[in-house]
Chain A
Amino acid sequence: DTEVTQTPKHLVMGMTNKKSLKCEQHMGHRAMYWYKQKAKKPPELMFVYSYEKLSINESVPSRFSPECPNSSLLNLHLHALQPEDSALYLCASSQRGVQETQYFGPGTRLLVL
């Protein structure tokens, strides 16, 4: 099973809402990633978890809060987002690190009103 699942597929939220994006993999991978992708742009790394510890935060605003409750799950908690945060949010996982294939989920399409 090489599947990474993400829920929800689509999300519309207001600027005062709190919501969470979820990502799950059952491949035994120990590195998990959040990317943000705006239209016509490449995916941009937001966070990396390695062995359930946050190893990279690419200076992401605090209104985005990642969480890795266990080795299979990765959450992204959203609070007080801005309209410019509307984007496709992709989750990925790899066995350990960057020399290995990253497996991507289908993404959550987020619209902030």
Chain B
Amino acid sequence: ILNVEQSPQSLHVQEGDSTNFTCSFPSSNFYALHWYRWETAKSPEALFVMTLNGDEKKKGRISATLNTKEGYSYLYIKGSQPEDSATYLCAFNTGGGNKLTFGTGTQLKVEL
């Protein structure tokens, strides 16, 4: 059974704070790592798909890094805004089949 762990489970920050979360996954036979943002009552929204060790990706104030050798990815949000409030999910694939295994997510709340 593949285990994808995310920490922290939840996070409250003030508007303007920068924050980061961790996704840990088995390092053997890595194929792809996805990050999604899921706001309540909406569809999960894709942020990044990362496939190479050392990958860094950026989308506006959000960025992510990937270390496949040690089995972790970090998601960073710079200058958090209330609209960043959501659950951030990572999902991992091993071996190249079409299965993604999701972590339990980090629930972020940004307060004014």
Contacts and interface: CB of A to CB of B under 8 A. Distances in A.
A62 B10 CA distance: 36
17 contacts: A4-B43, A31-B98, A41-B104, A42-B102, A42-B105, A43-B102, A44-B102, A48-B99, A50-B98, A56-B98, A98-B32, A98-B93, A99-B32, A100-B49, A104-B36, A104-B45, A107-B43
Looking at chain B, what size class is its interface with the partner chain?
20 to 34
A90 interface: yes
Interface residues of A, number: 26
B96 A98 contact: yes
Contacts of B46: 101-103
Interface string B34-55: 1010000111111001010000
Interface in B72-102: 89, 93, 96-102
A78 interface: no
Given A99-B93, A102-B46, 14 more contacts: A31-B98, A42-B105, A43-B89, A48-B98, A48-B99, A56-B98, A56-B99, A90-B43, A98-B100, A99-B31, A99-B49, A101-B34, A101-B49, A103-B46
Nearest to A55: B98
